[in-house]
Chain A
Amino acid sequence: MKANGNISRRQFVSMSAVAGLGLALAGCGSTGGSSSTSDSGSGSSASGKVYYLNFKPEVDSQWQELAKAYTKETGVEVSVVTAASDTYEQKLQSEMSKSSAPTLFQVNGPIGLKSWKDYCADLTGTDILNELTNDNLALKDGDKVLGIDYVEEDYGIIYNKDLLTKAGYKESDITSFGTLKKVADDIQARKDELGVKGAFTSAGMDSSSNWRYTTHLANMPIYYEFVKDDEEQTGTDAIKGTYLDNYKQIYDLYITDSTTDPAQLASKTGDDANNEFVNGEAVFYQNGSWAWADISKKLGEDKVGMLPIYIGVDGEEKQGLCSGGENYWCVNSQASEEDQKATLDFLKWVVTSDTGTKSLASDMGLNCPFKSAKEPDNPFSKIAKQMISDGKTSVNWDFVWIPSEQWKSDLSNALTKYAAGTDKWDAVKTAFVDGWKTESEANAE
């Protein structure tokens, strides 16, 4: 009975060994682990702590370094936790109810602010606000400034210079939708001769890629309507869809002059499009300055350029790239006074100190709209700046007024079906216009 029922000595020893191994790994890992809480020995007279919930997973290690550097310099404890992709809201909600909630977090714009208004401290008069170069980048609620946009990004149609030249064109040939279409159609017709699979990369509609069309491309008709009706600062509860025909023609161009059959687009991913572009299978690739990190692995700075997204509106020769921000820093108003002050001091340091600005620009590759910001090593940001000095008008990121994620996913559905030929463009129009109204109503308090 005893031999059957009890664990044999050998098994017990091996189980303890495994448990010991686990503890050892955990032990040796925690010293080099991904936190950056300060050692107690470096001047703990500094009060207040900073806890930043970071949104961008790809720059997590850079923020950890930056936090360590700040703690070393000032003795103030800084923890940085990065939410996994697509889980920011969930993580933020969970962390906010804990005893040590984040003191610094971010919202994506006026819609996100609706949820977190009561948790955002008023930043009027703070140093960090003073460092902002553009007042439009302060997220306001009435008179209060509740968020500060900390990254300015640009997007447009990235193109491969060598391939474009090979096709016999120059960037200056493309100044409007008409010319864009002409060049793209020509390249598509001669694609075998040029050795490409299509003019545009696949306009993938899976979740890693569809935002480029439901948000970024959709921005174009939204922007022009807002400009026409003067709704830039306030958004609207009912979009009219005045420029939807233009939206249709650019989307049609993307899916016909493409590397991929439109019916296959449903499964194409963001990585697919990127790979097509860097492998020279397509000439044009709609994306933004953040894509540089991936593109630069195979193509050099002199090999790429960025064109504005033309959709066929009068006067678009003066149109530049789409520039704006979707990342607004907010300080937790429910945190203690000490922690809030420590956070503001940290932010000021990040955007003014040498270490901070260098990290933001060179290590993270971010273009930050602050007075002391350094230039990131990003050709697309340079192109955007150049266009502005050439007198082109930037297109604002008016998609921040899109009423909900639900609208984006419904639009994505409609576009995918349209591309596959199972539904007409009218369904897209319905999703765009009627959907906007329904979603705005759903948002109403």
Chain B
Amino acid sequence: MVKSLRKWWPLFLLPTALSFAFGFVIPFVEGLYLSFCRFISISNPKFVGISNYVAALADPQFAHSFWLTALFTIVITVLINVIALAIALCFTRKGLKGSNGFRTVFFMPNLIGGIVLGYIWQILINGVLTIVGQQLLALNTVAGFWGLVILMLWQQVGYMMIIYIAGLQSIPSDYLEAAKVDGATAWQTLWKVKIPNLMPTITICLFLTITNGFKLFDQNLALTGGAPDHSTELLALNIYNTFYARAGAKWMGIGQAKAVIFCILVICISMIQLRATQSKEVQQ
């Protein structure tokens, strides 16, 4: 079948690949070029070699943002995936009353866009902090960090849950019946049947949580704005501030350079993750 499929590439491959070239590849390459330039409007860039990269790497705030973002991403990746899988397992049980309603409720947070969400949670968290007599978000690094974690959790668990549910539902039911017939407990079924067959789904969800964690911007800007003193400034916010917090052509270029470094870092991390989980995937 593969032999005959190959010649169908104009139909299957071309539309996506072409749009991808225009919608991503070309802008990306141009953006890459800009990272070696100074510019205000991108129609008039001036090439300056690697000085942008030197400046970007020398910025201590950039390094701080990186480590903070890495920590943040590890925390939310673990939390979101464990919780989402647990919930998905519950919601695919036979006979759980109201599971449809629950699924809808857990997914709803995804319906609200980034910035607005951040403001609402800011009001919420500041309200709670006031009640327990702690410093407000603008002064409280710890509350800012955990606030972001809770916010991400709230928003992303539903998203990952949907994917896990789809994955669970595509496990052939005879595998599950066979396990039952063999007398496996629920726990054994989970580890020996469900999870191995879920590996592609787990790959997807891990990848998505890791990249979403690193790319987080809107909510970071709205919830803490990096306060206090840039201590809750994640990478994307750092790049944004590099663009706009100071006037002048060189900052745009340095921001681009930071964005490229960011890409390289995250792609390395994700590649490691993808390799690790994809090697465990089982093609049926």
The 8 Å CB contact of A443, one of B241, B244, B247, is B247
Q: Which residues of A lie under 8 Å from residue B122 when comparing CB positions?
A: 267
Find residues 218-251 in chain B having any chain A CB closer than 8 Å to their own CB: 225, 227-229, 241, 243-250
The 8 Å CB contact of B247, one of A112, A264, A420, is A112
Q: Which residues of B lie under 8 Å from residue A263 when comparing CB positions?
A: 135-136
Given A96-B40, A266-B137, A267-B136; 19 other pairs, CB 8 A cutoff? A89-B244, A90-B243, A93-B252, A96-B43, A97-B43, A101-B41, A114-B248, A116-B40, A118-B44, A119-B41, A264-B130, A266-B138, A404-B247, A409-B245, A422-B135, A422-B139, A439-B246, A442-B246, A443-B247
CB-based contact A96/B248 at 8 Å = no
Q: Which residues of B lie under 8 Å from residue A89 when comparing CB positions?
A: 244
Q: What CA separation (Å) do A417 and B136 show in the bound complex?
A: 11
CB-defined interface of B204-217 with A at 8 Å, one 1/0 digit per residue?
00000000000000
CB-based contact A404/B227 at 8 Å = no
CB-defined interface of B245-282 with A at 8 Å, one 1/0 digit per residue?
11111101000000000000000000000000000000
**Can you list 24 A-B pairs with a CB-CB distance of less than 8 A?**
A89-B244, A90-B243, A90-B244, A93-B40, A96-B40, A96-B41, A96-B43, A97-B41, A115-B247, A116-B40, A118-B40, A266-B136, A266-B137, A266-B139, A267-B126, A267-B137, A267-B138, A404-B246, A405-B246, A410-B229, A413-B228, A417-B228, A422-B135, A443-B247
Residue of B nearest to A93 (CB): B41
Q: What CA separation (Å) do A260 and B130 show in the bound complex?
A: 13
Q: Is B78 positioned at the interface, with any CB of A under 8 Å from its CB?
A: no
**Closest Cβ of chain A: how far from B179's Cβ, in Å?**
26
CB-based contact B248/A445 at 8 Å = yes
Q: Is B142 positioned at the interface, with any CB of A under 8 Å from its CB?
A: no
Residue of B nearest to A205 (CB): B138
Q: Which residues of B lie under 8 Å from residue A416 when comparing CB positions?
A: 138-139, 227-228
Q: What CA separation (Å) do A410 and B61 show in the bound complex?
A: 13
Q: Is B120 positioned at the interface, with any CB of A under 8 Å from its CB?
A: no
Find residues 388-412 in chain A having any chain B CB closer than 8 Å to their own CB: 403-406, 409-410
Please classify the interface of chain B as helix (H, G, I), strand (E, B), loop, or mixed, using the class held by over half of its residues: loop
Q: Which residues of B lie under 8 Å from residue A96 when comparing CB positions?
A: 40-41, 43
**Closest Cβ of chain A: how far from B269's Cβ, in Å?**
28
CB-defined interface of A67-96 with B at 8 Å, one 1/0 digit per residue?
000000000000000000000011001001
Q: Which residues of A lie under 8 Å from residue B228 when comparing CB positions?
A: 413, 416-417
A-B pairs, top 3 by smallest CB distance, nearest first, are: A266-B138, A96-B41, A404-B246
Q: What CA separation (Å) do A420 and B130 show in the bound complex?
A: 13
- Which one of B137, B139, B229 has the greatest number of beta carbons of chain A within 10 Å? B139
The 8 Å CB contact of A264, one of B136, B246, B249, is B136
- Which one of A112, A264, A267 has the greatest number of beta carbons of chain B within 10 Å? A267
CB-based contact B135/A97 at 8 Å = no
CB-defined interface of B162-196 with A at 8 Å, one 1/0 digit per residue?
00000000000000000000000000000000000
Q: Is A152 positioned at the interface, with any CB of B under 8 Å from its CB?
A: no
Find residues 113-128 in chain A having any chain B CB closer than 8 Å to their own CB: 114-116, 118-119
Q: What CA separation (Å) do A97 and B41 show in the bound complex?
A: 6
Q: Is B63 positioned at the interface, with any CB of A under 8 Å from its CB?
A: no
